[in-house]
Amino acid sequence: MTSGLGAASTNANITYQEGGSANLGAVTITANATNPGSLSVTSTGGSIFQGAGTITVPTIAGGTNTVSFSAPNGSVTLDLAGNTIAPAVALTASGNSTVRQSTAQNLILGNVAVTAGTFNATVNTAAIELAQAAGTTVRVFGDTTLNTGGKITLDNVGNNFGGLTIASNVGPAGGAAVVLREGGTINLKAVDTGTALTSTLKLTSEGGSIVSSSTALLAKAIKAGGPTTLVSAADVTLNTTDVANNFGGQSITVTAPGTVSIQDNNATTVIA
């Protein structure tokens, strides 16, 4: 069964719980100094999705408002153009889930746990950052896809992304710095940070290797316009069988106790 949260506009907190799937209408919280306004949506037996209307939750200086979506038996799909969510977005789901920020507002992730599906975080506006709140983790059972026209900074201890696709080349900015930290092995599906020298890439694997797919049907190019830094607890293996990586002719700095094997389409300096 699917029920909905109709259009709502308030400067108070909104807490909504649904036994089946939750269909969200337009939700607008107007923050003020007395009540910064938090949003909590829970589906105990289904999914959470947007039917019509966007979600707008601002924050104010010193504000402590929060935004959370929980669907432990389903997915969370917040994919409408125009969402503007200023506080960190916490998300719990078992199915494929999406969060999209389409206006000039950084997308900050809180604790994200997708236990049996994929996760897609997208910021459509150029030069807007995708980041995570201090002390939080992103943990995804399936693949993680990150799309933005600005920086990507997911550098907290304990992240686990599954298979990882990164695109930081949306819009005229042409890409920006990407910094990612993973608790286990970083399994790269595709990376494109743009062609600018400022499009740097730093990947840290705390408990495993940094690898890309070696299967011809799965392998995609890894492209970085600026210098690349790879910190691995084991090996670094960035070889693809059907496409050529392109590190922009810039340096690749590698710290790893194990074997290092990197394929590149340009002249490259590797510093072990």
Answer yes or no: are the C-beta atoms of 173 and 149 closer than 8 Å. Answer: yes
**Would you place residue 216 in the very low, low, confident or very high pLDDT band (cuts 50, 70, 90)?**
very low
More confident residue, 74 or 150: 74
CA distances from 51 to 40, 77, 112, 218, 250 (A): 17, 10, 22, 34, 46
68-72, 150-154, 231-235, 239-243: least confident range: 239-243
Q: What digits encode the pLDDT tens for the residues 165-188?
A: 988 765 444 567 899 999 999 999
Q: Measure the CA–CA gap between 189 and 162, rounded to whole angstroms.
A: 10
Q: Measure the CA–CA gap between 230 and 107, rounded to whole angstroms.
A: 25
Give the pLDDT score at 65: 86
User: Helix or strand or coil: residue 150?
Assistant: coil
Q: Measure the CA–CA gap between 117 and 95, rounded to whole angstroms.
A: 4
**Would you place residue 128 in the very low, low, confident or very high pLDDT band (cuts 50, 70, 90)?**
confident
More confident residue, 83 or 62: 83
**Phi, psi (rounded to 5 degrees) for 248:** 70, 15
User: Helix or strand or coil: residue 238?
Assistant: strand
Give the pLDDT score at 171: 47
Strands (E), 19-137: 21-24, 27-29, 39-43, 48-50, 55-57, 67-71, 76-78, 84-85, 89-93, 97-101, 107-114, 119-126, 130-132
Average pLDDT over residues 207-234: 81
Q: What digits encode the pLDDT tens for the residues 194-213?
A: 878 888 899 999 999 999 86
